[in-house]
């Protein structure tokens, strides 16, 4: 057994939400891991940073929860010397090639954890991207969105071996309805100034419906959600004017009883007489 590989008591581990880069824990996966553990499956060691007082779990949050659910008292862990910040710096790049795949929201949170930090936000986009295992263009997108919400200081950039400081400007946040802001609280859309600007041009009622459409996966942008809402309104209006349409299927392709329909033949398909 390697020197840094130990069997640790699960009750001594610290599962800090501020170290976890995932937006939420997949409870179904925890159940799956727990069942596998009880069936005798073996999992790779978790990663822990120890500062002499606490064992900060950096990689293996799901495995620890599953082990506890399976009734395990101990778990194998790779232990490194370090603080909570060392654990965070390691965690932002976890699950890039193993474990449960990260969602776009997970990657956004990981980059955001670094961009919001007083020290790490001064690193270049490429360095943060290397740590978080994402594209450097993605880091730029997250940084721009977060910096648009508040002034967080200078950004340190390194070009051709020379260090530069770039000022970050404060942008005015668009006014949104109270109910809309509540729905946006845990939605990545709130970090996109461009999407917020588009949303602010809609009425309060439309804002709520657009955010709900995005949250439920029916659309992925404000413009697409607005089109979805417009189509719903149009179909509802048609159903109210012609109740019989409700019985004709999703695309309303059949003709109504008592109505005549004339099929238009494209010019290229018409036969010459």
Mean confidence (pLDDT) of the chain: 78
Residue 232's pLDDT band (boundaries 50, 70, 90)?
Answer: confident
Confirm if 94 and 21 have CB atoms less than 8 A apart.
yes
The pLDDT tens digits of the residues spanning 192-230 come to 777 788 888 888 888 888 888 887 778 888 888 889 888
pLDDT of residue 259: 45
Residue 272's pLDDT band (boundaries 50, 70, 90)?
Answer: low
Interstrand relation of 155-159 and 162-166 (parallel, antiparallel or unpaired):
antiparallel
Q: What is the largest CA-CA distance in the chain?
A: 94
pLDDT of residue 261: 41
pLDDT of residue 126 exceeding 80: yes
DSSP characters over the chain: --TTEEEEEGGGEE--TTT--SSS--HHHHHHHHHHHHTT---PPEEEEE-SS-EEEEE-HHHHHHHHHTT-SEEEEEEEE--HHHHHHHHTTTTSSSSSPPPHHHHHHHHHHHHTSTTGGGS-HHHHHHHHTS-HHHHHHHHHHHHHHS----EEEEETTEEEEE-----PPPP--HHHHHHTTT-GGGG-HHHHHHHHTS-HHHHHHHHHHHHTTS-SSHHHHHHHHHHHHHHHHHHHH-GGGGGSTTTT-SPPTT----PPPPGGGPPP-
pLDDT of residue 64: 93
- Report the first-to-last Cα separation within the chain, whole angstroms: 89
* Residue 12 CA to its chain's centroid (Å): 30
Confirm if 46 and 63 have CB atoms less than 8 A apart.
yes
pLDDT of residue 165 exceeding 80: no
What is the mean pLDDT of the segment spanning 166-185? Answer: 58
pTM: 0.54
pLDDT of residue 124 exceeding 80: yes
What is the mean pLDDT of the segment spanning 68-94? Answer: 92
Residue 264's pLDDT band (boundaries 50, 70, 90)?
Answer: very low
The answer to whether domain 1-100 has CATH 3.40.50.970 is no
Confirm if 98 and 65 have CB atoms less than 8 A apart.
no
Architecture in CATH of 103-171:
Orthogonal Bundle (1.10)
Residue 160's pLDDT band (boundaries 50, 70, 90)?
Answer: low
Which neighbouring-strand residues pair with 7? 76
pLDDT of residue 58: 93
């Amino acid at each position: 057994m390697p020197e840094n590989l130990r069997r640790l008591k699960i009750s001594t581990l610290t599962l800090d939400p501020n170290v976890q880069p995932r937006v939420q824990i997949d409870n179904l996966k925890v159940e799956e891991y727990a069942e596998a553990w009880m069936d005798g499956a073996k999992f790779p060691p978790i990663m822990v940073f120890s500062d002499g007082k606490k064992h900060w779990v950096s990689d293996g949050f799901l495995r620890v929860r599953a082990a506890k659910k399976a009734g395990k008292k101990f778990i194998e862990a790779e232990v490194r010397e370090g603080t909570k910040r060392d654990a965070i710096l390691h965690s932002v790049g976890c699950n890039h090639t193993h474990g449960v795949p990260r969602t776009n929201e997970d990657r956004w949170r990981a980059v955001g954890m670094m961009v919001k930090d007083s020290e790490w936000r001064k690193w270049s986009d490429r360095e943060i991207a290397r740590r978080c295992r994402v594209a450097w263009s993605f880091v730029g997108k997250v940084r721009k969105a977060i910096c648009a919400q508040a002034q967080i200081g200078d950004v340190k950039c390194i070009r051709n071996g020379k260090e530069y400081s770039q000022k970050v400007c404060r942008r005015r946040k668009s006014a949104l309805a109270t109910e809309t802001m509540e729905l946006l609280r845990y939605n990545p859309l709130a970090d996109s100034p461009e999407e917020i600007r588009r949303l602010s041009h809609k009425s309060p009622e439309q804002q709520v419906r657009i955010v709900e459409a995005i949250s439920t996966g029916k659309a992925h942008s404000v413009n697409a959600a607005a089109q979805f809402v417009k189509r719903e309104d149009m179909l509802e209006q048609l159903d109210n004017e012609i109740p019989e349409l409700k019985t004709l299927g999703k695309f309303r392709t059949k003709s109504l009883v008592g109505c005549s329909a004339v099929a238009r033949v494209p010019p290229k398909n018409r036969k010459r007489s």
